[in-house]
Amino acid sequence: DAKTTQPNSMESNEEEPVHLPCNHSTISGTDYIHWYRQLPSQGPEYVIHGLTSNVNNRMASLAIAEDRKSSTLILHRATLRDAAVYYCILDRNFNKFYFGSGTKLNVKP
């Protein structure tokens, strides 16, 4: 399985941008990069995904390094509802998701 590395936890102030990093040095050419988040006692929620180019949607932006060995999830204005565990996952060959330990984001009011 393709491995990703994320910081265990991060903290942000409400209304400020948050940059959540992910390292995936073993990524291969066809691996998609997915981000999900999970609130306590809930199933994961899709956030965003990309292959090579940066991506934007209503929830977040995904910045992918030119060599694709790292990516950054950007929440433009963090709210208290964004406090969750964020998982960065490599999707290899349209196959299974292997979750790493994720980053627990704490948002301070």
Contacts to other proteins by CB under 8 A = 32, 34, 36, 38, 41-46, 49, 51, 87, 91, 94-102
Is the Cβ of residue 61 or residue 97 nearer to other proteins in the bound state?
97
Taking the C-alpha atoms of residue 48 and residue 73, their distance in angstroms, rounded to an integer, is: 8
Taking the C-alpha atoms of residue 47 and residue 88, their distance in angstroms, rounded to an integer, is: 10
Closest separation in Å from C-beta 37 to other proteins: 11
Is the Cβ of residue 31 or residue 82 nearer to other proteins in the bound state?
31
Taking the C-alpha atoms of residue 13 and residue 20, their distance in angstroms, rounded to an integer, is: 14
DSSP 12-52: EETTS-EEEEEE-TT--TT-EEEEEEE-TTS--EEEEEESS
Is the Cβ of residue 77 or residue 82 nearer to other proteins in the bound state?
82
